[in-house]
Amino acid sequence: MYRFLLTPRWWGINVFVLLAIPFCIFMGSWQLSRFEDRMQDQQTVTAQAESGKQVAARPLAELLPVDKATSGRLVTATGHYDRQLLVPDRELDDKAGYYVLTLLRTDGGKALPVVRGWLPGTPDPAKVPAAPTGEVTVTGALQASETPGSNGVSAQGGLPAGQTGAISAASLVNLVPYDVYDAWVTLSEADSGMTAVPAAAPADTGLDLKAFQNLGYTGEWFVFAGFVVFMWFRLLRREIEFLRDAELGLVPDEEPVAVDVGSR
């Protein structure tokens, strides 16, 4: 009765099933590993943030370039404040406001973007406290350059003079006549009259929408694997039932095709 499994049609079905099931399981396992990696990164970032509060700040050059291991670490840098820009559409404690970003010219000539603090409302240069003059040493959390259009960073252009949508070397290099570090710092203690901006977790490390999408895709791939098995058994059962009906003569014979010979 099961000889039909050796027919070309069923050979094709069996080969497809044997390839589809491992593929679905592999993809589901891969998506699950991506979710687990994000969970591990989240735990690492949380532990790093807690330990970073107790670890002494290190010179900027020792922690560059910024990666998952150095993001959020305390750094120090010395220089003179120069150009000041406002970063609109930034929320803090569910309140709309903007960052006050000032470029710190270091001894090496390059500038370090420093977020001196946050102010509520719409950007208004008149309300921003003036940056300290003379040589200053800043201490704050190291952050990677932002990417416009991701993690809530505005990608809009055409901002008024004195504003920037993203804190990134690629954006700032077009606004100032000197090189800019591919990183930025948010002060541990904001300058007078402003609120300190907390350090953000590195990209692709938090339990955000992408993380739960990975978990959802995991379930989908395993469901696909189960569906393939279910359909194979369903086809097998239908084939067996058809053969049994044929043996019992329950399958109707095809009616002969009538030929109209009178029209010839």
Q: Over the stretch 25-79, which tens digit does the pLDDT of each residue have?
A: 999 999 988 888 777 766 666 665 555 555 678 899 898 888 877 888 899 999 9
pLDDT for residue 227: 94
| Mean pLDDT value of segment 163-191 | 90
Q: Where does the pLDDT of residue 98 fall: very low under 50, low under 70, confident under 90, or very high at 90 and above?
A: very high
Q: Where does the pLDDT of residue 85 fall: very low under 50, low under 70, confident under 90, or very high at 90 and above?
A: very high
**Contacts with 141 (C-beta within 8 Å, 6 or more apart), sequence order:** 52, 72, 73, 74, 75, 185, 186, 188, 198, 199
| pTM > 0.95 | no
Structure tokens at 48: 């790093």
Would you call 160 exposed, middle or buried from its count of C-beta atoms within 10 A (0-12, 13-18, 19+)?
exposed
**Phi and psi (nearest 5°) for 211?**
-65, -45
Distance CA 135, CA 77 (A): 11
**Do residues 138 and 117 touch, judged by C-beta distance below 8 A?**
no
